[in-house]
Structure 1
Amino acid sequence: MTANSTQNISTQNIASGLQILQLSAGLTLTVQILGQGSPVLLLHGGGGPQVLQVFAQRLAQRHQVFIPIHPGFSGTHRPEQHNTIKDLAATYATFLQHLNLQEVVVMGFSMGGWIASELVLHDSSRIGKLVLVNAVGIEVPGHPVTDVFNVTPAELARLSFHRPEAVQQVPLTPELMALRAANFATLALYDQNLKMADPNLHPRLSEVQVPVLVTWGESDGIVDLTYGQAYAAAFPQAQFVTIPEAGHQPQVEQPDRLLTALQSFLQ
């Protein structure tokens, strides 16, 4: 299926170039679709889909890339009872079925990695490979996920990036601050006070039968390398690749290195 093959998609085009898909009577999903080729589903973290844009544009030179916005993020609609990571996983299983996508590479970033892990456990029938980028979601004794809800923006940047001063920062207008606050509130809602980790997820990952790549920015101050190594070890068949000179968002700091790791895995 190409980005122009929309005959089986109930969508509404909106000014930003995104599409709104009606997945059920009460659930819509806002999705950006780029490029052509084999399908890759990108699941964003708490920072929202905008932090994936540079990486997604490069990935779209070889693949068809789908970037949904988790319901409730970036001002999108979230049904009242849609409030867990498993709800999001079920939504994306429905999304893959809705578009009749096959052999999809599912790539999850931070919180999106948690969703991706739950998705492949929920229904792997349309998933070819799983890629996690500095994912959260499991418990690793002695290596907790940093409480991002109780740090200042400056401290969050320091923990998130290898070189915070080199990352272009968008000016914090009142509108952007309100949007970030709303996104964090949505992130907290989906987290269900589990501190970005579900104690039941780690042991269940042994059931995953698709090949897995776990990539990790070496300078991550949100979830450290030991946490990443434990994540990879939980799967029956997983590769663990570190991204140098990158923190929690290697897609921002080192998009080419991340893309190289991904293409090596896919080949």
Structure 2
Amino acid sequence: MTTTHPPVPLQPYPGLPLTLTDVGEGRPVLLLHGGAGPASMTAIADHFAAGRRVLTPTHPGWDDTARPDWFAGVDALVETYLDLLDDLQLHDVLVLGSSFGGWLAAEMAVRDRGRRRIGRLVLMGAIGPQVPGHEVRMPTQAPNTPGPSPEAIRTMLAYTGPAMADPKLLHRLGRVAVPTLAVWGEDDAVVTPDFGRAYAAAIPDARFEVIPEAGHLPWREAPDATFAAIDAFVAAGDGPA
């Protein structure tokens, strides 16, 4: 049976409650969703919860949660989630981010240098850096496929700005000091595999894996290949706690 931890009242700033799902036991995993919202991470949470403690926050503004106008910009979320790891006294955390959540995860790793809150990093179809010659295409909601709603897109743009990229991030990624895996769908229409290769190349010793017959959310289209790549990467770092 998967353990569900009792809810902790989280309010990183006055008037800004933070919704957090916290299940399982063991080494911690922090899952950061993209525009499709926290429900898009359910399969990943279920995959890890059998042997790890899995935390999935809802970024303020998604799923009808509060986001005051002043709470904007990627840095607001990044500092909130780094503080969350401190408040919960977590270290050696596996941080996995998808799409916009990958941007947050990468920026967290840049800022965590030397603090050891983050132990390993997985980026899946991540946006964030400005890569010359590679535009980020706005994700769309395909028929019969859960995706970002128009409201979610508006909320995401409040954090990312209209360019959906940070021109300085590609250069700062050289400060990432934890093992990193970049997982990309072969048919990703939001950020191409070439974008992903440039992303991974900017991170020291990062591994890059392309998942055949998969798109922007590869664990949906090709779950076996996606989880095999992630599990092999995670297992390589599973020494004594």
- Assess same fold via TM > 0.5: yes
Partners in 1 of 2:205 and 2:225 — Cα distance?
Answer: 22
Encode CA deviations 1:213-252: one digit per residue, 9 max, x unaligned: 1110111111111100000000112000111111000122
Partners in 2 of 1:129 and 1:250 — Cα distance?
Answer: 20
- Give the superposed CA RMSD: 2.1
Structure 1 residue 255: Cα displacement = 2.5
Structure 1 residue 27: Cα displacement = 2.8
Matches within 5 A, 1:89-104: 89-104=78-93
Q: Structure 1: which 4+ aligned runs deviate by more than 4 Å?
A: 2-6
Matches within 5 A, 1:143-182: 143-148=134-139, 153=140, 157=142, 168-169=144-145, 180-182=149-151
More helix by share: 1
In the alignment, structure 1 residue 105 sits paired with structure 2 residue 73: no
Encode CA deviations 1:65-114: one digit per residue, 9 max, x unaligned: 11100011111111332100111100100111111111000001000000
In the alignment, structure 1 residue 75 sits paired with structure 2 residue 64: yes
**More displaced 10-residue stretch of structure 1: 196-205 or 51-60:** 51-60
Structure 1 residue 24: Cα displacement = 3.5
Secondary structure of 1:205's aligned partner: helix
Tell whether the 8 Å contact from 2:29 to 2:55 is kept in structure 1 after alignment.
yes
Secondary structure of 1:23's aligned partner: coil
Tell whether the 8 Å contact from 2:5 to 2:22 is kept in structure 1 after alignment.
no
- Percent identity (aligned): 43
Tell whether the 8 Å contact from 2:33 to 2:101 is kept in structure 1 after alignment.
yes
Partner of 1:87: 76
Tell whether the 8 Å contact from 1:51 to 1:252 is kept in structure 2 after alignment.
no
In the alignment, structure 1 residue 32 sits paired with structure 2 residue 21: yes
Matches within 5 A, 1:212-251: 212-251=180-219
Partner of 1:184: 153
Tell whether the 8 Å contact from 1:210 to 1:237 is kept in structure 2 after alignment.
no
Tell whether the 8 Å contact from 1:31 to 1:68 is kept in structure 2 after alignment.
yes
Higher CA-based Rg: 1
Structure 1 residue 205: Cα displacement = 0.4
Structure 1 residue 22: Cα displacement = 2.3
Consecutive unaligned residues in structure 2, runs of 5 or more: 236-241
- Count residues in correspondence: 232
Matches within 5 A, 1:59-74: 59-74=48-63
Partners in 2 of 1:135 and 1:263 — Cα distance?
Answer: 19
Secondary structure of 2:63's aligned partner: helix
Give the residue type in structure 2 aligned to 1:199: P
Partners in 1 of 2:112 and 2:132 — Cα distance?
Answer: 28
TM-score (norm 2): 0.89
